[in-house]
Amino acid sequence: MRLAELSGRSGVSTATIKYYLREGLLPPGRQVNATTAEYGEEHLRRLRLVRAMVQVGRLPVATVREVLGHVDDDSLGRTVRLGAALWALPQVPEPDADDEHVRAAREEADALLEALGWSNARLLKTISPAYRSLVVAVAALRRLGYRPDAELLVSYARLMHRAAELDLDHVEQQPSEAERVEAAVLGAILVEPVLQALHRLAQEEESARRYGFE
């Protein structure tokens, strides 16, 4: 298809498509003559992926380029390629290791991973931004004077593990490896707002079930 059709089918303006081409976020089309290039379905898919990262994930263009570099590098292992977007999402800053609440939160997070048997997460924890987010979230609770209930944390974690299994099952259903990696990137960006909305709605539903509307 030509640029105009790519624009029409993707809903992205031709000016933005040209910008993405210049920035290397979209691979060049097949040059038909000096002024015309031909684009394929893979361009359409890539364009959707870039828009998801830019518009929904609010990732800066440089970060999108970095994620796509990982996505397209088939010398990388699958865990790294599938995790590329997760690691590029806006992350919490490194917590202060000297802070007493951070130290206690780290111990609690480690005890949780131990209880869950998430040995890979333990391995990953030196580099994983998600581990850091967990420590920061637990430290915030402690700083407010609350100790999270260890049993409740385990229950939440098992639910989230089930969600992650569903995520990856969905990724594995995609027909090609390129599409699997793309689905993983999209999942990392688009699933969280859906889960958050469902959680809030479920809280309302369950509260109304238990206590009525009065």
Closest by CA to 40, choosing from 62, 9, 76, 81, is 9
Amino acid at 70: H
Q: Rule CB under 8 A: is residue 178 a binding residue for a second copy?
A: no
The 8-class DSSP code of residue 126 comes to T
Q: Rule CB under 8 A: is residue 25 a binding residue for a second copy?
A: no
Mutual angle of helices 177-211 and 78-88, in 10-degree steps:
50
Interacting span for a second copy (CB under 8 A) from 17-25, 31-39, 60-68, 135-143: 135-143
Q: Rule CB under 8 A: is residue 162 a binding residue for a second copy?
A: yes
Q: Which of the residues 91 through 130 are near a second copy (CB under 8 A)?
A: 118, 120-121, 123-124, 128-130
Q: Rule CB under 8 A: is residue 188 a binding residue for a second copy?
A: yes
Q: Which of the residues 30 through 69 are near a second copy (CB under 8 A)?
A: 44, 48, 51-52, 55-56
Of the candidates 33, 35, 79, 126, which one interacts with a second copy according to CB under 8 A? 79
DSSP string covering 27-83: ---EEEETTEEE--HHHHHHHHHHHIIIIIS---HHHHHHHHHHHH-TTS-HHHHHH
Q: Rule CB under 8 A: is residue 196 a binding residue for a second copy?
A: yes
